[in-house]
Amino acid sequence: MNAIDFDPRAYLPARDDFKGRAILVTGASDGIGRAVALALARAGAEVILHGRNVRKLEAVHAEIEKLDAPEASILPLDLERALAADYEAVADAIDKRYGRLDGLLHNAALLGTLTPIEQYDVPTFMRVMHVNLTAAFVLTRQLLPLLRASRDAAVLFTTSGVGNRGRAYWGAYSISKFAVEGFTQVLAQELESTSNVRVNAIDPGKVRTAMRRQAYPSEAPESLPTAESIAHAWLALLGAASRGVTGRRFQAQAG
């Protein structure tokens, strides 16, 4: 399959597809991040689990241990409060343990509130923009030398349907995802001819997650696909299957 026809939904990961690859997953303690982290581990990746809740990260780590998969590592970091030195420490720790980084999934995000712009709380707006965009920028910038050290690296952003078509009342979340998609395109062009790093974004669609319940509290969860059922699309864009594919936006589900 060439780059133009590439469809991550068609990828079926095998057990050793990610053998020898170190992949950092932000927001790995729940939802899509957790599902992708577990799928990566099953495919042989050495997964770096990021989140702010140590107890939840330890639970995911314990699940990986039961899979007879490569040992995962835990990276507790509160993206809302992290300082420059914290990001430097992250890069130093990954460099010391792995010497490179083969994949970076930006999945951590805040929803904020579904409120008209005219009434949107300014501190909440700033928090959402910081976690969803600024923290992703800083982490990417800090880890680029380690991504460049890989022979085949991928940066992947989880975006949203409101990230390329605005929707009333989605405020900071929608705006931050628009910015993330712009970040994807800029970074992809900058790295395309100077590195082995590809950069893409993926829209999950409607998925049974805590954030979805927060946004649509009256929706029946059983009517939605689970994160586990679509996680393979993220793996397609984080691994060798997507070599030569960069600067693009994909759908995790049909329709």
242, pLDDT greater than 50: yes
Per-residue pLDDT, 255: 67
d(CA 24, CA 72): 10
Q: Which tokens sit at 101?
A: 């980084």
Q: Which tokens sit at 69?
A: 């998969």
86, pLDDT greater than 90: yes
1, pLDDT greater than 60: no
> Is residue 120 annotated as part of the catalytic site, yes or no?
no
d(CA 249, CA 8): 11
pLDDT band at residue 123 under the 50/70/90 scheme: very high
Q: Which residue has the higher pLDDT, 215 or 37?
A: 37
pLDDT digits (tens, 9 = 90+) for 191-220: 999 999 999 999 999 889 888 888 888 888
Residues 11, 98, 173, 216: which is the catalytic one?
A: 173
d(CA 196, CA 212): 34
Separation in Å, CA 194 to CA 124, 148, 237, 245: 37, 9, 19, 15
* CATH no., domain 8-251: 3.40.50.720
d(CA 162, CA 196): 30
pTM: 0.95
CB 147 within 8 A of CB 197: yes
pLDDT digits (tens, 9 = 90+) for 64-77: 999 989 999 999 99
109, pLDDT greater than 80: yes
pLDDT band at residue 63 under the 50/70/90 scheme: very high
Q: Which tokens sit at 140?
A: 């990417």
